[in-house]
Amino acid sequence: MSSADVLHRLVGMTQALASPVEDLVILAEGNTSAAVGEGAFWVKASGCSMVGIQPSQFVLLDRDALCAAISGPTLNDGEARALLNGSRVDPECPEVPSTEALMHAWLLSLPGVGYVGHTHPTPLLGLLCVESARRWAGERLFPDEVVCCGPRSCFVDYVAPGFPLAVAIATAVTTFREDVGIVPKTLWLANHGLIALGATPEEVLSASRMTVKAARARVAALAAGEPVRALTAAEIDFIYRWPDEHFRQQRLFGR
C-alpha cells in the first residue's frame, strides 16, 4: 500500500475516533499513527484536534531512530522534542509531530500492528482513576470484549506523557508478551486513557468502541451493588480460540 493510501486510511480512522458520539476525545486530546513499510510512519501533528483532521495535519517520521532512543539513555523534554523534529522524513514539513510519537514508533514495530489509536474515553477514564483498574484490565465481562479487545488488556502505571510514557509502555508490553504470549490489542494507561492496536483501521475502531461499551457495562454491574462476575479464564480462552470467532474477526476487521 502506498504512503498516500495509508495516510488516507489513517485520516478516516482518526475522524471516526473523534466523532462526538463516540466520547473518546475532545479538543486536542489523543493521537493516531500508521506504519508505512518497515521504516516510516505517519503520526498526528502536535496540537491538532482529531475532529475534522486533514492529511496535512500528519507528519511522516523515520521509525528506527525513535525506537532506538527508547532503549537508550533518558531524554529530557528538550532532547525528546529535538529528536522528534529531527526524525521528520521531510525536514521542511511545517508541522511537528505529537510528543507521543515516540510510543507510536515503538508500538508500530510490534508484529501485526499497522495502526495505533490513542484516546481518552470518558467511561474508561473514570475506571482508570480507581485503584482496582489494574485487576479489571485482566478481566473480561462478555464474549465480544474478548473478540475486539483481546483476552486481557495490558495495564500501564501512570507516568508523565512523552519519553517516560514511551519507556513505560515498552516495558509493560514486553512483560505482557512474555506472560500472555501475544501482542495486546488494548493498553489501559492509568489515570490517562486507552491505546488500541490493529492490523487495520477497523480493528483499532472496534477495539476502541468495544472498550467503551465494556467500561459502561462494568460501571452498570458495579452500580448493581452485587459482586461482579467476570468471565473465567477457561471461558475467555474458549472464545479467543473458537474457530468461528476467528472467522468473525476476519469479517469485522478486514484482515
Nearer to Zn ion, 184 or 193 (CB): 193
CB of 161 to Zn ion, least distance (A): 6
Nearer to Zn ion, 63 or 118 (CB): 118
Nearer to Zn ion, 193 or 198 (CB): 193
CB of 44 to Zn ion, least distance (A): 11
- For the sheet containing 186-189, what is the strand order? 58-62, 40-44, 31-36, 115-119, 193-198, 186-189, 154-156
Nearer to Zn ion, 121 or 193 (CB): 193
| Closest-CA residue to 30 (of 17, 19, 11, 16) | 17
Nearer to Zn ion, 117 or 193 (CB): 193
State which of positions 148-207 bind Zn ion (CB under 5 A): 193
How many residues contact Zn ion, by CB under 5 A?
Answer: 1
Specify the pairing of strand 58-62 against strand 115-119.
Answer: unpaired
CB of 165 to Zn ion, least distance (A): 8
3-class SS at 208?
helix
3-class SS at 33?
strand
Nearer to Zn ion, 193 or 201 (CB): 193
In terms of C-beta density within 10 A (0-12 exposed, 13-18 middle, 19 or more buried), how is residue 101 classed? buried
Determine the residue with CB nearest Zn ion: 193
| Closest-CA residue to 53 (of 41, 61, 45, 65) | 45
CA angle at 43 for the pair 163 and 254, rounded to the nearest 5°: 120
> Over the range 6-27, which residues count as b (16 or more CB within 10 Å of their CB) and which as e?
bbebbbebbebbbeeebbbbee
CB of 148 to Zn ion, least distance (A): 21
CB of 232 to Zn ion, least distance (A): 32
Nearer to Zn ion, 24 or 141 (CB): 24
CB of 104 to Zn ion, least distance (A): 11
Residue reference for cell 495486546: 184
d(CA 138, CA 143): 14
CB of 125 to Zn ion, least distance (A): 10
| Closest-CA residue to 177 (of 255, 110, 131) | 110
What are the residues binding Zn ion (CB under 5 A)?
193
